Structures are given as C-alpha cells and as structure tokens.
Amino acid sequence: MIDRLEKEVDMLERHLQVLKMVIENEPIGIVKMSNETGYPHHKVRYSLRVLEEENLIEPSSQGAIKTERTAEFVDELDEKLDDIVDKLDGMKIEDVAEIEG
C-alpha cells in the first residue's frame, strides 16, 4: 500500500527535477538532462512527455522549453505540496497505546 505511494513520490520528484532543469536551462535536450541527473534517457523522455501533456513544457528544435502555464504551476506548487504533507501527517497512527494481535 505504501510502496505504491513511494513510487509515485519518486516519479513526481523526477518530473519536477526535469521541469526545474527546463526552466533553468531552456532549451535543453534529453541527453544533457540525462547526463546531469543520472536518470536513463527513457525516464527523462517519459517525464518530458508527462510535463508536455500537462502543458508545462513544449518541444522546440533545440530542446524542451517552458510554456505560459509553467510560472503559474510553480507559484502554486509549494502550497499544494504543503497541503499534501499536512494530509499525510494527519494519517499517521501515533500514540496508540498498544496494538494487540
């Protein structure tokens, strides 16, 4: 149950790292991103596809570039992540006297 969530968080982390590289280095290609992050080409390519589907980046002849929607997404990101962290904190099972089995 938690393993799937961990995998999703790892994938989100990769997507956001790729997005950050595009924002800071646009235009940027798959090979450079792969070399700098250590992620295999196919994982960078997948992240780029996801980001493109979300209209956060777009392809150009020189590599990936940001879109008009990128700044708005980045502005809202920290608040959304904080909300998720708060929700996860609320899910913790703490102070349980003793679970008997």
- What is the rounded average pLDDT for all residues in the chain? 93
Are the C-beta atoms of residues 35 and 29 closer than 8 Å to each other? no
> How far, in Å, CA of 29 to CA of 25, rounded?
10
pTM for the model stands at 0.86
Quick one: pLDDT band at residue 63, thresholds 50, 70, 90? very high
The pLDDT tens digits of the residues spanning 82-99 come to 999 999 999 888 766 566
The pLDDT of residue 94 is 77
The pLDDT of residue 97 is 58
